A and B are shown apart, each in its own frame.
Chain A
């Protein structure tokens, strides 16, 4: 029968895949029933299963120092990467960077991860990054906007050609109703957040992937710029928010006590005046 194991660690009955060891497993696995139902299921859209891909996008810019010219004072790289530096090529098919019209061929297409673009220039402008997803996931593209930053905030300080200016932005791409086929493909992939599925709902095991090595290269863990990547800690922000909420809740409780006290006083006064 159906053996559904819900666990946060890797279950023993998980069929071996050629994927790199996943960090956390949030899905359940079940034995395949039949081919026909597979095909139907692969195209089926699932409700209430929203997957999200945390990404970071931004730019790193180096002042060229002595080699800087008037029109090429900085060398910069604009990119989109997975928030944990895992490979987002499993989700993103290609990224199109739309640069300022003064650039030659301002529409730059990047067909494979890492999704980045390096150029040299002098000006800051807005770059539109359009992400195209794999067809089994979504045929609608998504556009991010990033303001290219070359010059440091603190304009008075000396510009260093060693230390770059880094501006990164965290966001999550959410797919509210992914197809089962896609889920099958990415379950256990570290770049994708798949929520815990309902009990009784299980996915067929993933088809073994063609080339694990190729996948490996798509991640940005060993990227040359990775030393400049910023850290985004969800836990920190959650703690901060929780602390703020506690403060607000304490004040709310106090206010309520005061209001009920005043109400009591008013009641008393009312009974006096009425009598």
Chain B
């Protein structure tokens, strides 16, 4: 306002006028399209013009002289020689030639035709009289194999599948009978894949069932499937982590375990245990990797046991990172086990491999536990920095590289990192839950 005074501009007059006018202009912008249509597009011009405005107006008159005439025509698709009239576009006095343009759409199906002798020879059927078959074929011809319509029109009540079955078996029999040699028609779809009535009936029934399922049923089914999936997955994990407890398997044991593992196909199968009752070890965590290693070993005519063990260890560790592998090796050393067995027989190698797998599972579970504890601490309302209560020797201290260490020293080391709320630093792993947890727990129990 003051600026305008300084500049000496008149107040309010011109600017307001300017404002009102552009608004009206934008609303009233025909440009070849009416205002309402323009508004339909949101008041904005289309990015790409649909119709070139130039096209609408120019179109120079061509050199040809166009007239229209009312002329008679015939349709070759008709059998009755009907003459009708229609407008025809004449160019320079020459009428167009050629058949009625829609005659080419009169397609029909080639229905098999049989003579009476042929019927007697090939086509008799206990379920069908000749009359019925003839009727069926007539209908097929007139309705172009539209079996639903044919079934509707068929005098005696037969299902669509029965009609189809009869038609296709007749066609197939005629094809085979008329063919000069069986080899000629062996590629024909009718011969290769004959119509299967029961399959079709079943399929249609299943389809209608699926179609008529209510939404509730659908939901229930989805739930059941998800549940089944979870169960099978947890079962596989459980089998992977658990092993049976025979400490010294016989030579037959691991060998049959390996044999079971080499059975092509996938992972857990209880049948493999049944086949080899002496198997000490359930070949559970045999992944695809291991099976392929065994297959490749069999390809070699001869190999060293240490080489085989190396390959399998590599396969087992392929899914784990370098750090995890190092931790596994550290654990092995702490347990007093040689990283490379000193007496690598088949049995020893099998045990060694299983031990490695178990250690991997152990490390994974440890990590899982850490995550769950972290989750737990986020559940509680943040007043406590760490989650108390879980036995210390296996839970975290914010320290991911903690390896498999006997309880006492681990607990001792960890205590140093805990916050000041801890009162008794020398607690054993079997200590009872800390006091401040209890009130919370009882609250949960009350509810």
- Whether a CB of chain B sits under 8 angstroms from the CB of A265 is yes
How far apart are A101's CB and chain B's nearest CB, in angstroms? 25
Q: Could you tell me the distance between the alpha carbons of A236 and B347 in the complex, rounded to whole angstroms?
A: 12
Query: Is B252 a contact partner of A234 (Cβ separation < 8 A)?
Result: no
Known: A48-B259, A248-B362. A258 touches B391 (CB 8 A): yes
Write the B279-319 contact mask toward A (1 if CB under 8 angstroms, else 0): 00000000000000000011011111110100000000000
Query: Is B372 a contact partner of A144 (Cβ separation < 8 A)?
Result: no
Stretch at the interface among A35-43, A154-162, A204-212, A237-245: A237-245
List chain B residues, Cβ under 8 A from A102. none
Choose from A50, A246, A265, A268 the contact partner of B255 (Cβ within 8 Å).
A50
Tell me the residues in window 217-240 of chain A with beta carbons closer than 8 Å to chain B beta carbons: 232-240
Write the A259-275 contact mask toward B (1 if CB under 8 angstroms, else 0): 10111011011111101
Query: Is B301 a contact partner of A175 (Cβ separation < 8 A)?
Result: yes
Q: Could you tell me the distance between the alpha carbons of A175 and B66 in the complex, rounded to whole angstroms?
A: 92
Query: Is A258 a contact partner of B369 (Cβ separation < 8 A)?
Result: yes
List chain A residues, Cβ under 8 A from B30. none
Tell me the residues in window 401-419 of chain B with beta carbons closer than 8 Å to chain A beta carbons: 404
Choose from B336, B361, B366 the contact partner of A244 (Cβ within 8 Å).
B336
Known: A255-B366, A269-B379. A242 touches B351 (CB 8 A): yes
- Whether a CB of chain B sits under 8 angstroms from the CB of A73 is no
Query: Is B305 a contact partner of A238 (Cβ separation < 8 A)?
Result: no
How far apart are A177's CB and chain B's nearest CB, in angstroms? 7
Q: Could you tell me the distance between the alpha carbons of A120 and B243 in the complex, rounded to whole angstroms?
A: 52
Tell me the residues in window 244-270 of chain B with beta carbons closer than 8 Å to chain A beta carbons: 245, 247-248, 251-252, 255, 259, 262
Query: Is A232 a contact partner of B343 (Cβ separation < 8 A)?
Result: yes
Choose from B252, B306, B376, B444 the contact partner of A171 (Cβ within 8 Å).
B306
- Whether a CB of chain B sits under 8 angstroms from the CB of A256 is yes
- Whether a CB of chain B sits under 8 angstroms from the CB of A25 is no
Known: A238-B351, A266-B376. A272 touches B447 (CB 8 A): yes
Query: Is A238 a contact partner of B342 (Cβ separation < 8 A)?
Result: no
Query: Is A238 a contact partner of B248 (Cβ separation < 8 A)?
Result: yes
List chain A residues, Cβ under 8 A from B341. 237, 241
Query: Is B379 a contact partner of A266 (Cβ separation < 8 A)?
Result: yes
Query: Is A138 a contact partner of B336 (Cβ separation < 8 A)?
Result: no
Write the B384-408 contact mask toward A (1 if CB under 8 angstroms, else 0): 0000001100100000000010000
Query: Is A173 a contact partner of B302 (Cβ separation < 8 A)?
Result: yes
Query: Is B304 a contact partner of A265 (Cβ separation < 8 A)?
Result: no
Choose from A140, A235, A245, A247 the contact partner of B302 (Cβ within 8 Å).
A140
- Whether a CB of chain A sits under 8 angstroms from the CB of B359 is yes
Query: Is A176 a contact partner of B346 (Cβ separation < 8 A)?
Result: no
List chain A residues, Cβ under 8 A from B347. 234, 238
How far apart are B99's CB and chain A's nearest CB, in angstroms? 71
Query: Is B342 a contact partner of A237 (Cβ separation < 8 A)?
Result: yes
- Whether a CB of chain A sits under 8 angstroms from the CB of B142 is no
- Whether a CB of chain A sits under 8 angstroms from the CB of B234 is no
Choose from A177, A240, A261, A266 the contact partner of B337 (Cβ within 8 Å).
A240
- Whether a CB of chain A sits under 8 angstroms from the CB of B125 is no
- Whether a CB of chain B sits under 8 angstroms from the CB of A65 is no
Query: Is A171 a contact partner of B355 (Cβ separation < 8 A)?
Result: no
List chain B residues, Cβ under 8 A from A193. 251
A251's closest neighbor in chain B, by CB?
Answer: B362
Choose from B298, B335, B366 the contact partner of A177 (Cβ within 8 Å).
B298
List chain A residues, Cβ under 8 A from B373. 262
How far apart are B288's CB and chain A's nearest CB, in angstroms? 19
Query: Is B365 a contact partner of A234 (Cβ separation < 8 A)?
Result: no
List chain B residues, Cβ under 8 A from A170. 342-344
What is the number of residues of chain B that contact chain A, defined by CB distance less than 8 Å? 61
Query: Is A174 a contact partner of B355 (Cβ separation < 8 A)?
Result: no
List chain A residues, Cβ under 8 A from B404. 251
Query: Is A259 a contact partner of B302 (Cβ separation < 8 A)?
Result: no
Query: Is A138 a contact partner of B355 (Cβ separation < 8 A)?
Result: no
Bin the interface of chain A by size. Answer: 35 or more
Choose from B301, B304, B343 the contact partner of A234 (Cβ within 8 Å).
B343
- Whether a CB of chain B sits under 8 angstroms from the CB of A196 is yes
Query: Is B248 a contact partner of A242 (Cβ separation < 8 A)?
Result: yes
Known: A140-B301, A174-B303, A252-B241. A271 touches B447 (CB 8 A): yes
How far apart are A231's CB and chain B's nearest CB, in angstroms? 10
Tell me the residues in window 132-161 of chain B with beta carbons closer than 8 Å to chain A beta carbons: none
- Whether a CB of chain B sits under 8 angstroms from the CB of A122 is no
List chain B residues, Cβ under 8 A from A111. none
Tell me the residues in window 176-205 of chain A with beta carbons closer than 8 Å to chain B beta carbons: 176-177, 193, 195-196
Q: Could you tell me the distance between the alpha carbons of A56 and B443 in the complex, rounded to whole angstroms?
A: 67
Q: Could you tell me the distance between the alpha carbons of A161 and B411 in the complex, rounded to whole angstroms?
A: 52
Q: Could you tell me the distance between the alpha carbons of A235 and B247 in the complex, rounded to whole angstroms?
A: 11
Query: Is A176 a contact partner of B348 (Cβ separation < 8 A)?
Result: no
Choose from B302, B348, B369, B447 the contact partner of A142 (Cβ within 8 Å).
B302
List chain A residues, Cβ under 8 A from B262. 48
- Whether a CB of chain A sits under 8 angstroms from the CB of B352 is yes
Write the B338-379 contact mask toward A (1 if CB under 8 angstroms, else 0): 100111111110011011001101100110110011011001
Query: Is A171 a contact partner of B300 (Cβ separation < 8 A)?
Result: no
Query: Is A241 a contact partner of B355 (Cβ separation < 8 A)?
Result: yes
Query: Is B359 a contact partner of A174 (Cβ separation < 8 A)?
Result: no
List chain B residues, Cβ under 8 A from A139. 301
- Whether a CB of chain B sits under 8 angstroms from the CB of A254 is yes
Q: Could you tell me the distance between the alpha carbons of A232 and B305 in the complex, rounded to whole angstroms?
A: 15
A271's closest neighbor in chain B, by CB?
Answer: B447
A174-B305, A195-B252, A268-B444 known; 20 other A-B pairs, CB under 8 Å? Answer: A48-B262, A52-B345, A54-B345, A140-B302, A173-B303, A173-B304, A174-B308, A237-B338, A237-B341, A241-B355, A244-B332, A248-B358, A251-B362, A251-B394, A255-B365, A255-B369, A256-B365, A259-B368, A263-B372, A272-B444
Chain A interface residues toward B at CB < 8 A: 48, 50, 52, 54, 133, 138-140, 142, 144, 170-177, 193, 195-196, 232-249, 251-252, 254-256, 258-259, 261-263, 265-266, 268-273, 275
Name 18 A/B residue pairs within 8 A (Cβ), A-sorted. Answer: A140-B302, A174-B305, A234-B345, A234-B347, A236-B343, A237-B338, A237-B348, A239-B247, A241-B355, A244-B336, A245-B243, A249-B245, A251-B394, A252-B362, A255-B362, A258-B369, A271-B447, A272-B444
Q: Which A-B residue pairs are the 10 nearest by beta carbons? A: A242-B247, A172-B305, A244-B335, A241-B351, A268-B444, A176-B298, A255-B365, A232-B343, A248-B358, A269-B379
